[in-house]
Amino acid sequence: MSSSKPHIVITSIFAPTKAVNKFATLPDYQLVVAGDRKSPAQWEAENVVYLSVQDQENMGMRMAEKLPFNHYGRKMMGYLHAMQQGAQIIIDTDDDNIPYDGWEFPAMEGEFATSQADRGFVNIYKNFTSHHIWPRGYPLDLILNQDHNIKEDELTPQAAKIGIWQGLADSDPDVDAIYRLVDNTEVFFDKRAPIVLAEGTLCPFNSQNTAVRRELFPLLYLPAYVTFRFTDILRGLVAQPILWAHGYRLGFTEATVLQERNPHDYVKDFESEIPCYLHPNKVIEVVKSRISPDNSVSENLLRAYQGLQEVGIVSAQEVELLQLWLQDVAALAV
pLDDT digit string, tens, across residues 78-125: 999 999 999 999 999 999 999 999 999 999 999 999 999 999 999 999
What pLDDT was estimated at residue 333?
A: 82
What does the buried/exposed string (b/e) look like for 298-329 if buried means 16 or more CB atoms within 10 Å of the residue's CB? bebbbbbbbbbbeeebbeeebeebbbbbbebb
pLDDT digit string, tens, across residues 164-216: 999 999 999 999 999 999 999 999 999 999 999 999 999 999 999 999 999 99
Residue 307 has pLDDT above 70, yes or no: yes
Q: Please give the share of the chain, as a percent, with pLDDT higher than 90.
A: 96
What pLDDT was estimated at residue 2?
A: 58
Q: Where are the domains of the chain?
A: 103-333
Q: Please give the share of the chain, as a percent, with pLDDT higher than 70.
A: 99
Cβ of 178: how many Cβ atoms within 10 Å?
Answer: 18
Q: φ, ψ for residue 32 (rounded to 5)? A: -120, 130
300, containing H or E segment: helix 297-310
Q: What's the CA gap between 120 and 104, in Å, rounded?
A: 28
Average pLDDT taken over every residue of the chain:
96
Cβ of 277: how many Cβ atoms within 10 Å?
Answer: 18
Residue 61 has pLDDT above 80, yes or no: yes
Residue 1 has pLDDT above 80, yes or no: no
Query: How much of the chain is helix, strand and coil, in % rounded to 5?
Result: 40, 20, 40
What pLDDT was estimated at residue 264?
A: 83
pLDDT (average), residues 289-294:
98
pLDDT digit string, tens, across residues 257-284: 999 977 789 999 999 999 999 999 999 9
Identity of the amino acid at 323:
Q
Q: What's the CA gap between 114 and 198, in Å, rounded?
A: 6
What pLDDT was estimated at residue 225?
A: 97
Residue 152 has pLDDT above 60, yes or no: yes
Q: What's the CA gap between 46 and 26, in Å, rounded?
A: 11
318, containing H or E segment: helix 316-333
